Chains A and B, each alone.
Chain A
Amino acid sequence: MRKANRWGKWIVFAVAAMFVFSATAARAQTVLTLWSHWADHDSKRAFVEGAARTFEKANSGVTVKVSWYEKQALHAALKTALLAGQGPDIFYAEPNQSEYVENNLLYDLSKALNWNNIEPWAKLGWTYKGGVYGLPLEAWTVEMYYNKKMLADLGIKLPAGMQFSQAEFLDVVKKTRAAGITPISLGVGDRDFPGAFLTHEALLKKLGYDDYDKLLHGTLSWSDPRVREALVSVKQVIDAQGLPSSFSTLKLGESHFYFHTKPGSLMFLMGSFYPSRAFNPPDKGGQPPDFQLGLMHYPAVDKGACNECKTITIGGSYVVNASSKNAALAGKFLNSMATPEMGNKWLEDVLVQTGIKADPAKISGPYAGYFRELAQINDKCKFYPERPVGVMTGKAKEVFTQVINNAFPAGLLTVDQVIEKMNAAK
């Protein structure tokens, strides 16, 4: 009986010890959950996973658990999870997803991040009614790339300011087409935005920052004479067969290949994420080693209010779930990425711009020259911080995508039809 009592005491002690131990362990182990796009972007995954491991080392008892998704699957999962009052502590979002902020689903990062380390335009992109809601990790500008050798072979000289006038540009397009070469590579086979570059950059330059903003927000009519003039200038390029005949089905990756390899085009109007594909080895879809890549400005439009204006887009960003129990810790993790060192690391490893302040002069490696050239061409630009599909929602976004991204550049619509459809969608 005595022996049984002793055993009983030991069992009670062991159970109590296990309980205390597990409770302590549970308290010590905080798991930050992060749902992110970029499942198939190795360099971006490595960057984020690296930041997570560094944060874990610096904060014992904290684990950052990252779940990688494809963008569409992530959006669908987030919408349903957040609607059900669930969701991760941190998730991937882009500033155009204003529905998150409008429904109070995001934690205000105004005081959580060191905003001195973030580019002002990037902060602006995530500012909404006084709050700032995202760490702008990825950013890109709309750039006009060109093949230096092809331009020289065609006997065309780039002006000193790296920007053709409207008439000069139309001549370049006609001359290139006459030589049997596609002037500008562009395709909308799998994306809802590249086809619109041609039109919205012209509109931005013609109207200037404020009126362009009004146009996208529906407070300026598409019947405005300046809008019509900008559309006419774009229509002239389209009618001069400025774009590939396979524009409607050409996918984003294919349009890169079309530009630098086969069949080859003179220019390529594309986001500055171009290097993430083109700087790969040729057998992985990259540009040929001897390819002479150049950068020029989008052509100036006649009587343009802001010919130095350019669209910059804040792409992949991280936001904190407002209902997260670990919101402050999540903010601390994001702040660990908001340093100039991390900005430079992003540029070097991912080869895409970032909203974190970085110094291209400090970048080394084979593509240092490209990043200096990119920084130089953007030096005096005034940026409009979002694509139209990022500003628009609902019906307006749908019509813009179908009309400006697809049908208008494909030559299916006249300027009057574009104006009529866009006005009807407001």
Chain B
Amino acid sequence: MREAASTISKPVLPPVDPSEWTSTSMSPVHASAMKAPMQGSRDLSRPMGAIVGFLLPALTIYVAFTAYPVVRTLYNSLQHVRPARSDVYVGLENYIGLWGDEFFWKAVTNTLAWAATAPVFEQMLAILLALALYARIPGARFFRIMWFTPVLMSFVVVGIIWMWIFNYDWGVVNSLLRGVGLDGWARSWLGDPTTALPALIFVTTWMWTGFNMVVLLAALHSLPSEVLEAAELDNCSWMKKLWFVIIPLIRPTIMNLVVLSFVGKMKVFDLVWIMTKGGPLWSTETVSTYVYKRAFEWNTFDLVYPCAIASVWFFIVLAGVLLLSILFRQRGKLEY
């Protein structure tokens, strides 16, 4: 009995040349020892079951809530969908209708203006603020929190606050202008077609600059001190150091932030809906607000035309992102 037990606990293993071991595999001794009790239960060289098991939940959610809606939107845009009746294929009819839709083009113009300007303002301001914090200005900790706070607010809160700030009678902006004797400049900022869109762009810039600043600050802190010290040894002025050393080094971060901001502005909805609903006279209409209006505010059951707008816009946003990626592509990789 005692002898049998010792036979089980010490299996006889064939001699193995250690040179046959690979970096990724365990020693044959361990492998065979491991394999013995697991044989017949699981083949680790074919981990498909595990892969599927881990991927399936995420994949199911992705397919159900992202891929399927996208495909369905594209499909719907080619149909005429009516309640309790079968769909009718109409081909490109909805897309052709877009060409003559003056509201759509107004919305496109406004959205493109927003997406072209706001990311630039945000990055320029964010770089300045990040540099100020990087240079450890007095009260840097306080300012970092202050400048970042707007990002933490919801669009609803931000929209309401800024509607008050822009109020003609008692808003802060007009009160300040009147206070310094510029009464003639006081105006209904959100009620005037010439100022409504710039006012909204200003609000999104105020809201998102803090986020960009924090990301850029992290990028600045990760810069190698030797490179900056070398620039100083070469008597590089502050501006030259910024322009020729710092900005090129943080360029990938800036590019990613620009792309993120661009995509965000191309989809902007909440702030417009709360503050102006696209008015006055469509001066702040964006593609997203127009899609929503066409789908749910026009008292029709036409959900396919909005699908066509959404499909077109999806490809335009995609093209915009690709274009930006090409424009910002770095010819030679900087090394440090």
Contact = CB atoms under 8 A, between A and B. Distances in A.
A98 interface: yes
B299 A393 contact: yes
B301 A249 contact: no
B169 A245 contact: yes
Interface in A206-244: 244
Contacts of B190: 248-249
Contacts of B279: 248, 402, 406-407
Interface in A107-128: none
A412 B281 contact: yes
Interface in A16-72: 72
A406 B280 CA distance: 7
Contacts of A398: 103, 293, 297-298
A245 B188 contact: yes
A82 B191 CA distance: 37
A402 B281 CA distance: 5
B168 A99 contact: no
A76 interface: yes
A99 B301 contact: yes
Contact of A407 (B82, B166, B168, B281): B281
A104 B84 CA distance: 9
B299 A96 contact: yes
B132 to A, nearest CB: 33
A390 to B, nearest CB: 9
Given A85-B84, A402-B279, A402-B280, A248 B191 contact: yes
Contacts of B300: 99, 393-394
A323 interface: yes
Contacts of A392: 299
A171 interface: no
Given A103-B83, A189-B163, A407-B281, A246 B168 contact: yes
Interface residues of A, number: 37
A213 B103 CA distance: 26
A246 B301 contact: no
B277 interface: yes
B166 A249 contact: yes
A98 B299 contact: yes
B243 interface: no
A246 B280 contact: no
B134 interface: no
Contact of B169 (A99, A192, A244, A395): A244
B303 interface: yes
B123 interface: no
Interface string A77-109: 001001101000000000011110001110000
A85 B87 CA distance: 13
Contacts of A244: 168-169
B296 interface: yes
Given A79-B303, A189-B163, A412-B280, A105 B84 contact: yes
Given A85-B83, A407-B281, A412-B281, A248 B188 contact: yes
Most buried by A among B82, B188, B192: B188
B81 interface: yes
B83 A105 contact: yes
Given A98-B299, A407-B280, A246 B188 contact: yes
Given A99-B301, A407-B280, 14 more contacts: A79-B296, A83-B83, A85-B84, A99-B300, A103-B84, A246-B191, A249-B168, A393-B299, A397-B299, A402-B278, A402-B279, A406-B279, A406-B281, A413-B281
14 contacts: A99-B300, A104-B83, A104-B84, A248-B168, A249-B166, A249-B190, A263-B169, A393-B299, A394-B299, A394-B300, A395-B298, A402-B278, A402-B281, A412-B193
